[in-house]
Amino acid sequence: MHDTILLQLIDEYFLPKGYRGAPDFIREFHDYVLPLITPMRIGKNTVLFTQHSIPNCIFFLLSGVAYSSMEHPLSTMLLAPFLWRAPAIIGDGRSFYKQKSARFAVAMQGYGTVYSLERKHLQLIEDKFPKVQVNIRLAIKQQQQAFKNWKDSFSHEKVPIRLQHLLEQDPALLEHVQQKHLAGYLGIYESYCSKLIKEHRVSLL
């Protein structure tokens, strides 16, 4: 029996909301798509793909944490434009869909449960269910905007404000994501990130 979380992620990625209340269609869709999605063997800190590679899969994260990393243009620091906590769909959507070089790498933080979908199988799904392409393109567009917002925030917001916004969006983030990945997301060194987190915790007392 497939995990309910996997089914929810599949529906979220592929199906416009209008299709989600049609049980016969959902059953047909799941029966076709599920055999194309394969479980991965995930070791500790597995790299799903590297920056500048051409990713051949998108990934469905059922448990654990994944993070992106990319080269800083001015220093040796690694940046992290995306942090994913399960359940999540992860990858560089634009690069996967258009077969362009990935803008960032994606790796696991420790262990987790991950399924993958290859690009050739995505094409089969689109051929059989043409209208799902609209939802896929919308998801990619949303990721593009999130990536742009992350880059814009470097020049428009001070780091403590960015951290505050991040923790407002996901209050439990500090319990699950390592500080070095948070530092990468904020574009700062880990020592400064640690200082800001301590100040944040004191402010909550």
- Tell me: pLDDT of 1 over 70: no
Q: Map out the domains of the chain as residue ranges.
A: 4-144, 157-205
Compute the distance between CA of residue 103 and CA of residue 108 in angstroms, rounded to an integer.
17
Task: Give yes or no for a contact between 9 and 60, defined as CB atoms under 8 angstroms apart.
Answer: yes
Summarised one tens digit per residue, pLDDT across range 16-48 is 877 766 788 889 999 999 999 999 999 988 999
Cα–Cα dist 112/97, whole Å: 24
Assigned CATH class of 4-144: mainly beta
Main-chain dihedrals φ then ψ at residue 22, nearest 5 degrees: -110, 95
Mean pLDDT for the stretch of residues 76-90: 93
The helix (H) or strand (E) run that includes residue 140 is helix 132-156
DSSP 48: E
Per-residue model confidence (pLDDT) at position 76:
81
Could you tell me if 90 and 27 are in contact, meaning their C-beta atoms sit under 8 angstroms apart? no
- Long-range CB contacts (< 8 A, 24+ apart) of 35-38? 36/117, 36/118, 36/121, 36/124, 36/125, 37/6, 37/10, 37/115, 37/116, 37/117, 37/121, 38/115, 38/116, 38/117
Place 84 in a pLDDT band, splitting at 50, 70 and 90.
Answer: very high
Average pLDDT over residues 123-132: 92
SS (H, E, C) 59-117: EEEEEEEEEEEEECCCCCCEECCCEEECCEEECCHHHHHHCCCCCCEEEEEEEEEEEEE
For 151-192, the pLDDT digits (tens) are 898 878 899 999 988 888 888 888 999 999 999 999 999 999
Omega prior to 87 cis, within 30 of 0? yes
* Percentage with pLDDT > 70 across the chain: 98
pTM (2 d.p.): 0.91
Distance CA(198)–CA(165), nearest Å, equals: 16
Contact (Cβ atoms closer than 8 angstroms) between residue 23 and residue 31: no
Q: Percent of the chain having pLDDT more than 90? A: 70
Q: How far is CA 9 from CA 44, 60, 117, 196, in A?
A: 23, 7, 12, 34
